[in-house]
Structure 1
Amino acid sequence: MSSNPPADPAPRRRWSLRTRLLIGQVVLLVVVVAGIGIATELALQQFLVHQMDVGLSEAAKRALVDSGGGPSLGPPPEQHTAPGPPPSTEAQTGPGPDFLNRRSIQPDTIGALVDSDKSVRAGRVGTDGVQSALSAAAHEQLAAVTPGKPVSLDIPGQGHYRVVAATTWSGKTVITGLPLKSVDATLMRVFLILLIVTAVVLVVAISVGIWLIRRALTPLDRVAATAARVADLRLDRGEVTLPVRVPVADADARTEVGQLGVAINRMLDHIAGALEARHASETRIRRFLADASHELRTPLSSIRGYAELALRERDALPPVVAHAMSRVDSESRRMTTLVEDMLLLARLDAGRGLEHTPVDLTRLTVDAVSDAHIAGPDLQWALELPPEPIVVTGDSARLHQVLANLLANARVHTGPGTRVTTALAEDGRGGAIWRVTDDGPGIPDELQPEVFERFARGDSSRSRRAGSTGLGLAIVAAVVKAHGGAIAVESTPGRTEFTVCLPGALTVAG
């Protein structure tokens, strides 16, 4: 039984340093403000409940006295009264105990009297002084209150109350309760004020935090901009200078960003030194190649001249000597070609050797393909031209050499019967595009990245019916670059295409 491997989790979103700092600041501020608010609410609640308990204790003492005394009091003393009706008392106005009939009782006060037989008389004083009955559930809840410290209850149908119970000398339980709605209203008002203050503080903190973070990270932005400018420089060849450095103000080793700026400046100094050493080495090599090529032209011309002179008397020479002189002439010609190519590359590297004249690419293409057809009659040569001539500014001889080398490359590295198509077209911007396509065996994948390097060879997979210096495509790339153009290759088995893009006006490459 096989199971599919788990899919890779989606990459997590990376937040910027500014965002993380701002979120951290906001979270810390929220935690601090929330802690202060909770502590304030708890302290205020404790204070208000304590104040409520003081009033509740006074009300409970009066209710206890009105109900027959407290636990520390004995039975009421006997009173001798004259015969006649009892003294006048306040009439009961509701179902609650007698102490609720006091005129000074606080509105919304709840009172209950639990007899020894568990019967309960309970009521609530309204704002008009009239008592109202409580529900049976409220009776049961009040009857369950034990004497001792005040407790908070949610009495069904009445709301949130603070109640306290006490026992009289006769065993009755007197329960007094005061409403907590004023306390709850005060706490809610303070909570809303804290929310508003928190929102205002967060808005102010976020605004100030964005400004502070942006100001604090501005040096880091300048360091990043310096690194970006260096990254955009062409450092692969030629004389390279690195005038960009992190400003002195952002390279203070006493700060974290300054330490980064100091490190980048040191790195740029090392890179600049390495580039100068590399350029100096390349310059010496190019000068050596140019001087050596120039100096070799004279002895090579002399060798070729003596070889040709000897070959004029071929019949008078022994066969072995005649064959040797023929080989000397052939190799001297090949050596001369190699020296000329090396000298041309040295001149192109130095930015010399180009002319600025109008070049008719249509006529040049026809001439190059005709020469290639004569040199390789066993290949099929095709030509695709635009209806109107294409003229660019450049060096006619060098551009002819570009196309001739591309056609020679196809002729040398493909077999008989290969179809080679040369196409010329406009690029829509005043320039031209050359395409040389063949249906040969193709260029190996590992050779394609370095096909335009000097002395690159692909003998293992492309047939070689003639000698090659390995500099043909390197010269093509150098000439095209010197004209400000670009060259690319795409190759698969059965199809290889070289594409040359040339601007309308010659632009000397730096």
Structure 2
Amino acid sequence: MSISPPAPLPPQAPQPPAAVRPLAKGTLGRRLVVRVAALVAIVAVGLGAVVALAAYNIQIGQMDSRLDGAVRRMTGGPGFGGQEIGTILASQDGETIISASILVDRASNSGVRAATLSDEAAQQLAAVQLGSGEKATIHLTDYGLYRVTVQSSGSFRAIAGISLSQLTSAMTSLVIFEALLTGVVIAAAVVVARGVVVTSLAPLNRLAATATAVSNLPLESGEVEGIVRVSPNDTDPVSEVGRVGLAFNHMLDNVEGALAARHASEVKLRQFVADASHELRNPLAAIRGYAELTRRERADMSPAMAHAMGRIESESDRMSSLVEDLLLLARLDSGPALDLAPTDVTEIVLNATSDARAAGPDHRWSLSLPDEPVVALADRYRLHQVLANLLANARTHTPPGTQVQTAVAVTGGMVTITVTDDGPGIPPELQASVFERFTRAEVSRVRKQGGPSTGLGLAIVAAVVAAHHGTASVNSRPGRTVFTIRIPAAGPTAF
């Protein structure tokens, strides 16, 4: 897995915040609307049930009054005189059904037409267990629901029943009407709740949009500009959202102040490093010059003195190289002025590899290049420096005989350059910081010459590649280490 360097990336324009969807899945607005709709539905269904139950009880009471009248008329005289159409009258003595009829129609102003109940319905009436004057609702086969009552006198029982078909039809219509009304009420509640919730949460959504805009700003380094604030209309301390907006603006003020202080500190530090490095160049040049002057007289010096002067010359060379690297990093930090132009990457790789082969003849160097020239938008000198640092890193941190291969490819409009060696590798715990300044991999990689590393070579690689709007990464395990840089292609290779 490739590990990106910690070197700062080039500043990028803040991304516009995503469009706020106040009722998107999982949002507070959606949950509020759903809960309001559920509450309205529960209340509406409950009220409908209460109304339906009350209407049913009222009509059952009226039905019972009519049933009492039917019983009185039945016991007051034989026949169906004065009874409603559909009324059932039956008489029973002990277990024997004497008669069981239903009023079908009125034949004339004075007469009626009745029909005998089916045997099954008659048996159902006989099986009704009610005390005198009690009432019950039963289902009679072939006749439907009936409200029945019993009038007892010894072993004799008079049974009367009135059809509940009209009541059932009325209750069905009432329930359907209530269901439709409940649906309309719920739909209206959803529409109203949606409007209220969207309006009420609009300040919170604007606050979220502001936070998103701030989170997209490049805050990792450099001077930070364009930190927006919450609108004064959304910072009224009277409301809860206003208090959040006010606190958010206060936090942004502190963040902006801290970023400004950090940037000022970075500028001072870079200036100090640049000034110090610049001031060190002259005394180092003098030390090197005087050390070189002693070469012609070292034959007359004692071995200890000659060795000391040799070490002074060697360390002054190393210090000069370190100062130059520090100056370069300071320039890159303060805003690299690169001469970006279409550059033949193949030529640079060939030259850098040729130099590395001359400096490290005990390594095995190889190339993997495409047939066509590869052109990148790059600074020729700085890109050569990147390749030279990577190849020097492979040469000085791997043992003799190590195979080092440099490859070039173009993918997705980017030029990819890889430097691969089969050396001892870099431990996983060091790979994340290998591009940081003054990082040394002395534990895993063998440095065979030149004394201890300054730890700036790969930092320069990362900084220069980032200045090219590219990326640098490393992937290492024992026996295979791959450094990869990717920079924008140019010309015919930018496809």
With structure 1 as the length reference, what TM-score do the two structures score?
Answer: 0.84
The corresponding residue for 2:488 is 503
Q: Is residue 421 from structure 1 mapped to residue 401 from structure 2 by the alignment? A: no
Evaluate the alpha carbon distance shift between residue 145 and residue 381 of structure 1 in structure 2; reply closer, same or farther with a 3 A threshold.
Answer: same
Return the offset for 1:495: 1.0
Evaluate the alpha carbon distance shift between residue 117 and residue 499 of structure 1 in structure 2; reply closer, same or farther with a 3 A threshold.
Answer: closer
What secondary structure is seen at the aligned counterpart in 2 of 1:258? helix
1:345 pairs, out of 329, 338, 348, with 329
Pairwise CA RMSD:
2.3
What is the one-letter code of the residue matched to 1:37? G
The corresponding residue for 1:44 is 55
Return the offset for 1:393: 4.1
1:408 and 1:248 map into 2 onto residues whose CA distance is: 58
Greater Cα shift, 216-225 or 469-478: 216-225
What is the one-letter code of the residue matched to 2:345? L
The corresponding residue for 1:131 is 114
What secondary structure is seen at the aligned counterpart in 2 of 1:99? coil
The corresponding residue for 1:475 is 460
Q: Is residue 442 from structure 1 mapped to residue 425 from structure 2 by the alignment? A: yes
Return the offset for 1:352: 4.0
The corresponding residue for 2:79 is 99
Q: Is residue 258 from structure 1 mapped to residue 242 from structure 2 by the alignment? A: yes
The corresponding residue for 1:455 is 438
What is the one-letter code of the residue matched to 2:79? F
Residues 436-480 of structure 1, C-alpha deviations (whole Å, 9 max, x = no match): 111111111011111100000111111011232110000111111
Evaluate the alpha carbon distance shift between residue 117 and residue 231 of structure 1 in structure 2; reply closer, same or farther with a 3 A threshold.
Answer: closer
Evaluate the alpha carbon distance shift between residue 382 and residue 351 of structure 1 in structure 2; reply closer, same or farther with a 3 A threshold.
Answer: same
2:141 and 2:368 map into 1 onto residues whose CA distance is: 99
1:181 pairs, out of 165, 179, 183, with 165
2:411 and 2:276 map into 1 onto residues whose CA distance is: 40
2:323 and 2:180 map into 1 onto residues whose CA distance is: 86
Residues 225-281 of structure 1, C-alpha deviations (whole Å, 9 max, x = no match): 222222222222222235222222233333333333333323322322222222222
Q: Structure 2 matches for 1:141-156, cutoff 5 A? A: 141-143=124-126, 144-156=129-141
What secondary structure is seen at the aligned counterpart in 2 of 1:424? strand
1:417 and 1:229 map into 2 onto residues whose CA distance is: 54
The corresponding residue for 2:338 is 354
The corresponding residue for 1:206 is 190
What is the one-letter code of the residue matched to 1:142? L
What secondary structure is seen at the aligned counterpart in 1 of 2:292? helix
What is the one-letter code of the residue matched to 1:470? G
Greater Cα shift, 474-483 or 239-248: 239-248
* Contact preservation (8 Å) 1:242, 1:272: no
* Contact preservation (8 Å) 1:120, 1:139: no
The corresponding residue for 2:43 is 32
The corresponding residue for 1:16 is 27
Evaluate the alpha carbon distance shift between residue 19 and residue 316 of structure 1 in structure 2; reply closer, same or farther with a 3 A threshold.
Answer: same
What secondary structure is seen at the aligned counterpart in 2 of 1:313? helix
Residues 412-453 of structure 1, C-alpha deviations (whole Å, 9 max, x = no match): 111111111112233453x53211111111111011111100
Return the offset for 1:146: 2.4
Evaluate the alpha carbon distance shift between residue 57 and residue 501 of structure 1 in structure 2; reply closer, same or farther with a 3 A threshold.
Answer: same
2:97 and 2:294 map into 1 onto residues whose CA distance is: 148
Q: Is residue 59 from structure 1 mapped to residue 59 from structure 2 by the alignment? A: no
Evaluate the alpha carbon distance shift between residue 367 and residue 131 of structure 1 in structure 2; reply closer, same or farther with a 3 A threshold.
Answer: same
What is the one-letter code of the residue matched to 2:324? E
Gaps of 5+ in 1: 1-13, 67-97
Gaps of 5+ in 2: 1-24, 107-111
Return the offset for 1:502: 1.8
* Contact preservation (8 Å) 1:454, 1:474: yes
Give every structure 1 segment of 4 or more consecutive aligned residues whose post-TM-superposition deviation is greater than 6 Å: none
1:484 and 1:62 map into 2 onto residues whose CA distance is: 104
The corresponding residue for 2:18 is none
Residues 267-325 of structure 1, C-alpha deviations (whole Å, 9 max, x = no match): 32232222222222222211111110000001101111111112222223333222211
What is the one-letter code of the residue matched to 1:218? A
Residues 92-112 of structure 1, C-alpha deviations (whole Å, 9 max, x = no match): xxxxxx332x2x321111112
2:207 and 2:446 map into 1 onto residues whose CA distance is: 54
What is the one-letter code of the residue matched to 1:55? R
Q: Structure 2 matches for 1:92-491, cutoff 5 A? A: 98-100=78-80, 102=81, 104-115=82-93, 118-128=96-106, 129-143=112-126, 144-167=129-152, 172-241=156-225, 243-427=227-411, 429=413, 431-466=414-449, 467=451, 468-491=453-476
Evaluate the alpha carbon distance shift between residue 105 and residue 350 of structure 1 in structure 2; reply closer, same or farther with a 3 A threshold.
Answer: same
State how many pairs are aligned.
458
What secondary structure is seen at the aligned counterpart in 2 of 1:126? strand
* Contact preservation (8 Å) 1:148, 1:166: yes
What secondary structure is seen at the aligned counterpart in 2 of 1:450? coil
Greater Cα shift, 358-367 or 465-474: 358-367
Fraction of identical pairs, as percent = 47
What secondary structure is seen at the aligned counterpart in 2 of 1:122? strand
2:369 and 2:91 map into 1 onto residues whose CA distance is: 117
What is the one-letter code of the residue matched to 1:455? F
2:329 and 2:412 map into 1 onto residues whose CA distance is: 30
Evaluate the alpha carbon distance shift between residue 160 and residue 425 of structure 1 in structure 2; reply closer, same or farther with a 3 A threshold.
Answer: closer
Evaluate the alpha carbon distance shift between residue 442 and residue 117 of structure 1 in structure 2; reply closer, same or farther with a 3 A threshold.
Answer: closer
2:355 and 2:331 map into 1 onto residues whose CA distance is: 26
Return the offset for 1:503: 1.9
Greater Cα shift, 142-151 or 363-372: 142-151
1:360 and 1:176 map into 2 onto residues whose CA distance is: 110
2:467 and 2:155 map into 1 onto residues whose CA distance is: 116
Greater Cα shift, 118-127 or 139-148: 139-148
What secondary structure is seen at the aligned counterpart in 2 of 1:446? helix
* Contact preservation (8 Å) 2:329, 2:460: yes
